[in-house]
Amino acid sequence: MINKRKLELYENLFRHLGPGAHTITVSAIGETMNCSERHARTLLKQMSERGWLCWKPARGRGLKGSLTCLLEPLQACYNEVDIATEQGKYDVAHKLIGFNDRNVASALKQYLTHATIESENTVHAPFHRKLSWLHPHYAMERTERHLIHEVFQTLVTSSEKKFTGELAHSWNHCQYYRSWTFYLRTGVVFHDQTPLSAFDVVDVVESLQALATSPYWSRLYDHIDSSVQTPPIK
């Protein structure tokens, strides 16, 4: 994981040289980044591995090599923030976005605008605190409950005593209303594009039953004896 200081050093180098190819000595690079020649070589290698620049050293001490800055410093920052957020290292992303004394709030807004343009199907929602586990039985804060309502779907939903199918397109019951069968909609997928199956529904119901240890939640599942998956209708 890259740190904020390396981004700052790269921006200093970019400001000094600009984009395009340049001939320069390692000593001059070290002076620009305020470090020794040895450390400058290490930084050049690391920045090259990140795809920020291309460095072709000359053979012989004191000779000029070829240095090409490939990315704008801000784009290099965005790439690193993408990696940090994908790994769940949001504290690192927060530090990176404010490199070289940038205003974090303003820089974050600019990054989110950039990210939205890059991926129109992705929603970024910065929040002032760390969100708790988005599990129906554990989330108690209003924000988490709202997100759960937006993210999770149920088999059916009710409004003004009228039931409407969500994951289930239809359902029926036995003569004594003790056995219910739900027919799932086709083409339903999870966030990672894994198709939804009856096995997933049964697994969720059984998991909720197992986790419902408090009287408040257990009363929602006490009436369920068992859940089974039936073969699909052909």
d(CA 95, CA 81): 9
* CA angle, residues 78, 84, 86, in degrees to nearest 5: 100
- Give φ, ψ of 212 to 5 degrees: -80, 75
Render each residue's pLDDT in the chain as its tens digit; 234 residues.
678 899 999 999 998 888 778 999 999 999 999 899 999 999 999 999 999 999 998 877 778 999 999 988 988 998 999 898 888 888 888 889 889 888 888 887 778 776 655 555 666 666 777 888 888 777 888 888 888 888 888 899 887 778 889 999 999 999 988 999 999 998 888 877 889 999 999 988 888 888 767 677 777 788 888 888 877 655
Asked whether the domain spanning 142-218 has the same topology as the one spanning 4-71, the reply is no
Residue 109 has, within 13 A of its CA and on its CB side, a CA count of 4
What percentage of the chain's residues is helix, strand, coil (to nearest 5)?
Answer: 45, 15, 40
Placement of tokens 């605008």 in the chain: 113
Element (H, E) at 53: strand 53-56
Q: Identify the CATH assignment for 142-218 out of 1.10.645.10, 3.90.76.10, 3.90.1150.10, 3.40.50.1360.
A: 3.90.76.10
d(CA 212, CA 222): 10
Q: Which residues lie across from 183 on neighbouring strands?
A: 170
Domain 4-71 has CATH 3.40.50.150: no
- Six-digit token string for 155: 């088999």
CB 72 within 8 A of CB 84: no
Q: What pLDDT, in 10s, does the model give residues 15-74?
A: 888 877 899 999 999 999 989 999 999 999 999 999 999 999 887 777 899 999 998 898
> What's the CA dihedral at 71, 75, 76, 79 to 10 degrees?
-130
- For the chain, give every domain's residue range: 4-71, 74-118, 142-218
Placement of tokens 């957020």 in the chain: 85
